[in-house]
Amino acid sequence: MSAEGGTTGYIQHHLTNLVVCSDSAKVDGVCTGFWSFHLDTLLVSGILGLVVFGLMAMLASKATSGVPSSGQNFVEMVVGLVDQQVRDTFHGKSALVTPLAITIFVWVFVMNAMDLIPVDFLPSALQAATGNHEMPFKFVPTTDPNLTFAMSITVFVISIVMGLKVKGVGHFMHEVFAVPFGIKLAPINLLFRIVEEIARPISLSLRLFGNMYAGEMVFILIALLGIYQLPLALPWELFHILIITLQAFVFMMLTIVYMSMAAESH
Amino acid sequence: MNINATLIGQAIWFGLFIWITMKYVWPPLQKAMADRQAQIADGLAAAERGKNEQELAAKRSADALREAKEKSSDLIAQAEKRAQQIVEEAKGVAKVEADKVVAGAKAEIDQEVERAKQALRERVAELAVAGAEKILRKEINASAHADMLVALKQDL
């Protein structure tokens, strides 16, 4: 615990990302420009993703239609759950939607699950290992809006591309300009459409970010209580298991819904 | 909370993981799951078919059993009847044969009796002659029959 500057400093420190940038992007010695990178978010999310998807790919490569191994069984259970949601909601034909939904659910879940590790545990270990006791390091990538926006914008782009592909440019343009008020009110239709399309990724990413950020915040506040954190951390942790799963599920579910809206005619 | 180039990095990660899932995770799992589903469906169908066939076979075997039973009881009845018939026939034949034997025996006896009678008859004459001879020999003396001889002489 690098408790420099008391409680506020502790909280501040825990909510700061490890930033790197070139010297040209620095403003007053701090990386505030666009071309700076949150190293912790990139590393944790990347390593978690590589591990979990590598593991899944390994199990999938050994998948058999006979009696499955326990690992295959578990992966099949998760994948089957997601696939069921896709089947229920998305009625078009697409080789992308199910893998996309699986990726979102699994990745967001494991990233959220980093929240369950006590807030000071990994940062302290890392600080001890590097010898830099002032180094900030956020271990929950989903508390970084960069990540959630990156995901929601990707989903947004995929949904637009899918809309164009499934409906064709003509039909897509017709939908943009002539729905819901008819072609005579084209500008208003376009405006509605833009608001609708922009609201989706923003709400999608901010929902995940807000939930995880707030949860992390509560963990940090509980960690400040000294000995009293012991009876409090456990219930919040248990409750947080719900939030973690729920947020991963909601992100996945909304993605499927957006995909099906993009692929289906109004 | 500031938006920066991390966004791009995360989008690349995201795209990479989608690609991995799309290429290496989902298709083999989907195939395995679909195959297993098909196998289970096949297995269930086969079980159903087997059950039907077994029911059919049970019915068929029961039918065959009943038929066999009927046939066998028919056969037994027939055999009994036949046996009775044979016995009757044998009885008839035996009776006829016995009658024949009896008749033959009777005829033979009659013949024998006849022959004996014949023999006797022949012997009776002989015996009569012999007896008569004996008697004659004993009875013939001249004194006793002198009268008769005298009478004869007189007649001559």
pLDDT in tens, A47-75: 999 999 999 999 999 888 888 899 999 99
Euclidean distance between CA atoms B32 and A83, whole angstroms = 14
Asked if B21 lies within 8 A of A95 by C-beta distance, the reply is: no
pTM, two decimals, is 0.76
Token pair 């995940």: residue: A208
What count of residues does chain B have? 156
The answer to whether A53 faces chain B, any CB pair under 8 Å, is yes
- CA-based nearest residue to A97, from A253, A266, A248, A208: A253
pLDDT at position A147 is 94
Q: Give the gap in angstroms from C-alpha A165 to the nearest C-alpha of chain B.
A: 18
Asked if B26 lies within 8 A of A35 by C-beta distance, the reply is: no
Among residues A69, A203, A205, A265, the one annotated as catalytic is A203
**Residues B108-125: pLDDT tens digits?**
999 999 999 888 888 888
- Distance set, CA A232 to CA A72, A219, A225, A226, A227 (Å): 37, 9, 9, 11, 10
**Residues A235-264: pLDDT tens digits?**
999 999 999 999 999 999 999 999 998 888
Helices and strands per DSSP (H, E), number in chain B: 3, 0
The answer to whether B40 faces chain A, any CB pair under 8 Å, is no
* Pairing verdict, β A19-21 and A30-31: unpaired
pLDDT at position A2 is 43
In the annotation, is A73 catalytic?
Answer: no
- Distance set, CA A220 to CA A24, A129, A169 (Å): 34, 22, 50
Euclidean distance between CA atoms A150 and B11, whole angstroms = 5
pLDDT > 70? residue A152: yes
Q: How would you class B67 by CB atoms within 10 Å of its CB: exposed for 0-12, middle for 13-18, buried for 19 or more?
A: exposed
- CA-based nearest residue to A118, from A18, A6, A225, A247: A225
- Distance set, CA B143 to CA A89, B137, B139, B147, B150 (Å): 174, 14, 10, 8, 11
Asked if A65 lies within 8 A of B11 by C-beta distance, the reply is: no
For A137: left if phi > 0, alpha if psi spans -120 to 50, otherwise beta; the answer is beta
- pLDDT per 10-residue tile (average), chain B, 156 residues: 86 95 93 92 96 95 95 95 94 93 93 90 83 79 75 80
